[in-house]
Structure 1
Amino acid sequence: MLTDAKCRNATCPPEKQRVRVTDSGGLYLEVSPAGSKRWFQKLYVSGKEKRMALGSYPAVTLTAARKARDAAKLKKADGFDPVQARKLDRLKQAMSEGETFEHVAREWYGKKSALWSAHHKTRELRNLEKDLFPWIGRRRIAEIEPVELLQTLRRVEARGSLDVAHRVLTTARGVFAYAVATGKSTPSRRGSRASPKRA
């Protein structure tokens, strides 16, 4: 078992490429001759050995590395490949950074509008630019709450435009569905956001 002192004092001789200092449960600290230290978790998935990077020491402490090891074991016990799950999480995070509602909506419009009539194109763009972008356009789509969309629809209803409000909601649902399909949001969050309860 490792201790903080062992982690701090671990070294690698110049003649070796690396030294692995093991903890428990497949967790080990890999030390290079230059002094860099990185955490790895050894796993067996479908009979194949894999390793998952958990960060560098001391930025990732021994305690944090053990927590990450335990989390990976739980994923594996639930039938998931922890290595692939981690890659997917990182990909989703990278894709979601800066993904505002307007950015996603314009991407959605650009891909879908080629199949629409001229009238439908104009109406959908008006729904976005007049009734959605001014209120939630700058919000990250993964963070938009149902109440925000509800308030946006009520602004349209306040003009006496109930039919327009329904069309705006349909447009918003299309954008949220596209966000789910492209990994910019999650199905569970999309379900609550695309269908707010309207009083």
Structure 2
Amino acid sequence: MAAVLDPKAAGALMRAIDGYQGQPLTRAALLLSALLFQRPGNIRAMEWAWIDFEAAMMTIPAASMKRTIEGKINGRPHFVPLAPQAIEVLKEIHALTGHGRYVFPSARTGERPMSDATVGAALRRLGYTSDEMTAHGFRAMARTLLIERLPGIQADVIEAQLAHGKSGPLGAAYDRADYMEQRRQLMSIWANYLVQIKNGAEIIQFKQAGVAA
């Protein structure tokens, strides 16, 4: 699952997405893939019922997460705080698809979400081969740059936002509302960073430092 991991290359990717000339919904899916760094299946199958504009939160039901059957049935939902940039993208496309179930409905029928190949095809259209960047690569891009380039972000907070499972007796409790304030800060810091590198801001590598949980 190839990914862009260098800040300058990531900035170039964000500029390419910003100038995408294809369908508006596909461009929005690319932007939200970068801003939210959730699994591609959760991006393309995103439902308007999951979005709370007032609370600036997306809540993905447990049944829609990559989990065991037990986790899907009895697990807690996954919370994704929405930075202002993500809210802006969602509000822009609400006028297009807000009347239906899916944020990104299929072009053929609104009864299904967009194809799992759409974001990948858009990346190819932007000139990125499958060996350079993939839909899943936005997750690796976020995790790498957050850890290596931004100060004061605790790895556990990033892992919670990625919805990575945690072994041990705590198990699924890891992805509850723990670290929620830090996760809100994380998503805002990340969205602002994407804007900065898109605009060609100077990239400074910080020493890794943990934010208190």
Q: State TM-score, norm by structure 2.
A: 0.21
Hey, which of these two has a bigger chunk of strand by percent?
1
Which one has a bigger Cα radius of gyration? 1
Hey, which of these two has a bigger chunk of helix by percent?
1
Task: Say which structure, 1 or 2, has more relative contact order (CA 8 Å, 6+ apart).
Answer: 2
